Amino acid sequence: MRLTSFTDYGLRMLMRMASAPERAFSTAELADEFRLSRNHLAKIVQRLARAGLIETRRGGGGGAALARPASEIRLGAVIRLLEEGQSLVECLGADGCACTLFGQCRLKSRLRAAEATFLADLDRTTLADIALTPLRVA
């Protein structure tokens, strides 16, 4: 299974935030660290904030921080959130597909089961389990 870059960077951001849960990270700081455009990062921040995983504050000392302890954030839930609307293969999407094997294919059920197993495994892991080592301040 391949995750989208949206999910990849969302996980990286959360891992960084979990490394210093007492502070807020600016979008500029995170964009520089991950070599990512601020616009793309802002979209990820918005999705995470709407879901209540992070809080954002404007102004001096503002930025994004975890909204709850990293030990309460399950990776499976994060991936479901960030991969929303992304199906493993076309036929697993909400709209179905125009597959010529429809009605004969036995692969779809196996892929659905594999995806469920993948996410169930990640549900056993929390953000605290994968938090980055805190950055050293020079």
The residue with tokens 């975890």 is 66
What pLDDT was estimated at residue 133? 82
Give CATH for domain 5-130.
1.10.10.10
pLDDT in tens, the chain (138 residues): 688 999 999 999 999 999 999 899 999 999 999 999 999 999 999 999 999 999 998 877 789 999 999 999 999 999 999 999 776 666 665 666 666 666 677 787 888 898 899 999 999 999 999 998 876 655
What pLDDT was estimated at residue 110? 86
Smallest Cα–Cα separation from 1: which of 115, 81, 85? 115
Would the CA dihedral through 72, 50, 18, 67 be positive or negative?
A: negative
- The answer to whether 4 touches 82, Cβ cutoff 8 Å, is yes
What pLDDT was estimated at residue 37? 93
What pLDDT was estimated at residue 117? 94
The secondary structure of 16-85 as a DSSP string is: HHHHSTTS-B-HHHHHHHHT--HHHHHHHHHHHHHTTSEEEE-STT-EEEESS-GGG-BHHHHHHHHTTT
Smallest Cα–Cα separation from 40: which of 19, 10, 76, 71? 10
What pLDDT was estimated at residue 24? 94
Where along the chain do its domains lie? 5-130
Condensed to tens digits (0 to 9), the pLDDT of residues 4-44 reads 999 999 999 999 999 999 899 999 999 999 999 999 999 99
d(CA 122, CA 77): 8
